Every structure is written in C-alpha cells, then in structure tokens.
Amino acid sequence: MELAIGIDLGTSYSSVAVVRNGRPEVLADDQGNLTQPSVVAFLEQGGIQVGHPARALMGTDPYNTVYSIKRLIGRRMDDPEAQTAVASFPFRVTAGPNNHPVVELRGERLSVPELSAYILRLMKKIAEARLGQPVDKAVITVPANFNDAQRESTRIAGRIAGLDVIRIINEPTAASLAYGYRRNYNKLVAVYDFGGGTFDFTLLELRDTVFRVMSTAGDMFLGGDDFDEALATAVANSFWKQTGIELRRDVVEWQRVLLACESVKRELSRRARADLSVKKVAHTAKGVLDLSATVTRELFNSLCFDLVRRSFAVVERALNDAKVRPEDIDDVVLVGGTTYIPLVQASVEQFFGSAPRTEVDPETAVALGAAIQAASLMAAPSPEVATQQTVLLDVLPHSIGIVAAGGMVEKVLERNMSIPVEQSRIFSTSRDGQREVRIRIVQGESRRLEDNTPLGELVVGDLRPAPRGEVEVLVTFEVDTNGILNVTARDKDSGRIYEKSVKVSGELDERSIANIALRQGR
C-alpha cells in the first residue's frame, strides 16, 4: 500500500511521520533519533553530511556548515530580514540570480531550496528505511506567517528532494490535527508554536473532524536560537570583564559557545541550575583559557523574559483579529522545543488562566499532524483514516493587493480570509490608445508600496486602441489550499486570457530543478 509522509521542516530541527493502520507515528533514524538537526555540512575531503553528523561540525567548521537556512528561504538579499539572518551566519551568503541568496561552500554556490532539499532528502531516506518501501508523496509544513514566495520555495525544495509535495500546510494547523485526531472535539483551541527560529500563534475552531482557522499571526525572527544568543551574549560579556577577551570575534569559538548555551538551555528545562563549560576557548600569552560558569534558571529567565514577552504581542494581535478573549479559549496546545522552557510554560498559563494541554509532544506534534493530513489526501486512504477524514479550513496569513494609481496599494484579498479563496477586479485603461495594462501584485498590510513585499507583475498586452476607460480587463486572484497565489486576467474585449503563478521568479528554473535533483540523488 502506498504511503504518504508528513515532514516538519524546521529551522533548527526536522522530523518525519506517517500514519499506519490508522495510527500516526514519528519515524526514528537508525540511532533512534526522532528529530534531526536542520544542518548541512560540506566536508573538506568531499562529501556531504546532514543532520546529527553535520551538527557535530558546527563548532569546528562553521564556515562550511549551514544551519537555520529556513530563515532565507523564499527571500531576496535586499529583504531586511534576510540581511539580519545573513549577518548572523558564519558561512558566506551572497546575491545570486535575481538577487536571491546563494551560499558559498568549498567553491560551490548553492541556492536555499537546494540546501533545504538535503534535509528533506534525509527525511525521505529515514522514512523509506523504516517503512521498507519507496516513499514519493509528502505533506510539508511551514510557519503560518510564511508568504507566497516562501511556500513556493519550500515546494521547490521538496521537488529537488524527489518528493511529490501534495500539500503545504501551516505548522500550527498541523499541530492541531495531532491534538484533535480521533477525539471529535468541539472546542476553541489556541496553538502556541515556539520553534527554533520562528513563533506562530493560531486560533482554531474544532468541530468534530472540521478544523477551521480563525486567525493567525507570527514573528519570523523569534525562536529558541534567540534564547541561546541571549545566554551566550551574557556569558561572553562576563568573560570579557574577567579577561579582556572578546569571544564574539572568533567565529569558531563563538559557535562553540552558542552550542554550549543550547545544551545549558535544555538542561535548565529539567533542573534549577546547569554548568556551562567550553575548553580552550581562548589563547593568550599566558596560556590557554577555558570558559566555565554555573547558570541558574533564575538568571536564564531574566535574560529571556523580553523574548517571551514578544511572543505575547503576537498572541494579542491574533486574538484581536478574531475578536476573542483569552478566557474564551478552551485549550492551549504547546508546540516547538522552546515550549519546554519553564518560563514559557508559566507565562502561557498566566496569560490564559489555565495550564496548557500535554496530549502531544511539542517537538513531534507538527510532523504527526502533517502525516495525518498526508494520509487523508491519498486517493485510497486506509479504512481507519477514511472514517476520520479531516477538513482543514485555513486562512491567508498576509493581505494581497495591487499597486494603484499614485503608487498606493489596494487590497484585493484580506489577511485571515479563509482559503482557498478567489476574488476578481475589473481594471480599465487610464489613457487614450493604451495598448497594455501592467498589474503589480504585492503582499502586506500597508497602503505604502515600500512597506509591502512585491510578488510579481502581470502584463496584459495587445489591447484594442480605444478611448480611456473603454477597454476593460477582468483580473482574478486565487489562493489555493497550499496558500499559493495564482493570478489570471481576461481581456473582456478580445476574450484573451493571461495567467501568472506568482512565485519566486528566477531563483531556479525547471531545468535547474531537474539537474539539481539528479545530482543530489546520485
């Protein structure tokens, strides 16, 4: 029987799951690991490591070890958020075709989808080894706040990895599936999703097997990595005061400090204090220096309090959009490794007035939900799955509009509209004899063009010369169940139809995708 898998392609860690005999399960590698670091390393002697072996190289070869690449997927180099990410990476990132980022590793220039594909290919390999059969179909999850370009780039990464991506779904929505599967809840549920690189908050109404998203909001640059950075910065400042040595100037040693701080963060989720130790962190005229410190949970909480508070600004935005109060929510589901932090759990309980639910593991909930959705999308689902077919009614995370006269943006599709959705607008010529209409499409909430993300341009040409306003063009904006936009235009005078799938234009063409997939598959 053909099986489809669910993949949680995370910023820091990824995992893969499947539904067998009606039961969703996360698939472990041959070492028993349920999650894999989203890390890719290019070795000096040739060859590529992915996952745990690659993560082991972050502290010794940071220039050729790529991590958190999800921060760049679907972005251009002139994007301020891309610039923020690039500035934090030790590996070299430069502008490629159409200003898309490329990573330079040992003389090779690799696109972001290509690097993401290595992680997806590892997920595929783990699934095939555990299931004992080929796996080609997958549902891949993305942050709820991902825009159109980021979703399309994720789909391209899947294709390079040899996967037929049958659906892209939002991570919090997937987690709600794992929480509500076979339980037939009738509840208002909040998903508080604090991952390694992003934070999302989603409100859903669960009615038996129907999961309807009411609102969603997110912060693309708030995650567990920031907690590591906060602790590492405090430790580095203390070391500088004691020794006069600035650890952040040495890329290799700074990576070692960050990795040690991540381990301490995890330890502090279980204990009130933890020891931090990095051997031979600095070399001086007097000899080699080690870094050691005892970190208390109280100190860690004080360093990270503002980061946790930032998450609740996102929560309040989503609640306001849905016109819901915290006390209206029946259950809060925690998702993402950062929610293991006691400060986060206590803050959630304080804000909502009740303890969050613990039915699902925060680190594997997203992959499990993706697997449930994958199983339900198969042409012939198993009888166990068929009786629990779920209906997902998701929403648009960003408004989509067009650039009107004067350079202002007019919204066509509003944020938090249910998808799939379709809207049409009629445009007419603005001057006598006009032979073409250019429709510039953007994504965002502002009326100001410069505050929005450009998605593309649709040109309707060969119009009949006529007085202004006489020739009309019907433009239809459609967002599918993957959250991907398609725009069509029809010249009402001639009946000609123009179509544009708005995606990451020019990053990788069809030939490049096929060639990269072939090269990776060898």
Q: Quick: pLDDT tens for 257-284.
A: 999 999 999 999 999 999 999 999 998 8
Quote the pLDDT of residue 241.
96
Q: Which two tokens stand for residue 221?
A: 């640059």
**Structural domain spans, the chain:** 4-185+357-394, 224-302, 400-501
**What contacts 24+ positions apart, CB below 8 Å, involve 401-404?**
401/441, 401/442, 401/443, 401/444, 401/452, 402/439, 402/440, 402/441, 402/442, 402/475, 403/440, 403/442, 403/449
265 is catalytic: no
Average pLDDT over residues 489-518: 68
Q: Is the torsion defined by CA of 170, 175, 176, 177 positive or negative?
A: positive
Distance CA 407, CA 450 (A): 9
Task: Tell me: pLDDT of 385 over 60.
Answer: no
Sign, Cα dihedral of 282, 285, 288, 293: negative
Find the catalytic residue in 29, 152, 193, 331: 193
Q: Return the pLDDT at 437.
A: 85
Task: Identify the band that residue 500 occupies on the pLDDT scale cut at 50, 70 and 90.
Answer: low
Q: Considering 29, 61, 70, 124, which one is annotated as catalytic? A: 70
Q: Which residues contact 190 (CB under 8 A, 6 or more apart)?
A: 201, 202, 203, 204, 315, 329, 331, 332, 333, 352
213-260 per-position pLDDT tens digit: 999 999 988 999 999 999 999 999 999 999 999 999 999 999 999 999
The token pair at 165 is 């991506």
Is residue 422 flagged as an active site residue?
Answer: no
User: Residue 46 is encoded by which pair of tokens?
Assistant: 């040739």
Superfamily for 224-302? ATPase, substrate binding domain, subdomain 4 (3.90.640.10)
pLDDT on residue 502: 47
- How many CB atoms within 10 Å of residue 282? 17
Band of pLDDT at residue 462, cut at 50, 70 and 90:
confident
Average of per-residue pLDDT across 319-341:
96
Catalytic residue among 29, 61, 171, 491: 171
Contacts of 309 (CB under 8 A, 6+ apart): none
**Percent of the chain topping pLDDT 70:** 95
The pLDDT of 510-519, averaged and rounded, is 75
507, 97 Cβ separation under 8 angstroms: yes
**pLDDT value, residue 506:** 46
Per the annotation, the verdict on 323 as an active-site residue is no
- What average pLDDT does this structure show over 348-361? 94
What is the architecture of the domain spanning 4-185+357-394? 2-Layer Sandwich (3.30)
Q: Please tell me which residue in 8, 152, 226, 363 is annotated as part of the active site.
A: 8
pLDDT of residue 108: 93
Q: Beta strands of 96-209 (E only): which ranges?
A: 101-105, 108-111, 137-142, 164-170, 186-194, 199-207
Q: How confident is the model over 373-389, as a mean pLDDT?
A: 71
Quote the CATH superfamily of domain 400-501. Substrate Binding Domain Of DNAk; Chain A, domain 1 (2.60.34.10)
Least confident range from 41-50, 258-267, 319-328, 503-512: namely 503-512
pLDDT at 370 (0 to 100): 97
Banded pLDDT at 285 (limits 50, 70, 90): confident
Kindly report which listed range (130-144, 162-176, 340-354, 476-490) carries the lowest average pLDDT score: 476-490
pLDDT at residue 384 tops 60 = no
Write the burial class of residue 439 (CB in 10 Å: 0-12 exposed, 13-18 middle, 19+ buried): buried
Assess contact for 374 and 19: CB atoms under 8 A.
Answer: yes
Are 167 and 481 in contact, with CB atoms under 8 Å apart?
A: yes
Does the annotation mark 8 as catalytic? yes
Count of residues making up the chain: 522
Mean pLDDT of 364-387: 81
What average pLDDT does the segment 384-388 reach?
Answer: 54
What average pLDDT does this structure show over 397-416?
A: 89
Helix (H) or strand (E) holding 221: none
| Each residue's pLDDT tens digit, 48-88 | 999 999 999 999 999 999 999 999 999 999 988 899 999 99
pLDDT, mean over the chain: 91
**Residue 301 host element (H or E):** helix 297-322
pLDDT in tens, 118-130: 999 999 999 999 9
Cis peptide leading into residue 101 (ω within 30°):
no
State the pLDDT at residue 518: 75
Give yes or no for residue 505 having a pLDDT over 70: no
For residue range 411-449, list pLDDT tens digits in order: 999 999 999 999 998 988 889 999 888 889 998 999 999
Pairing of strands 421-428, 36-37: unpaired
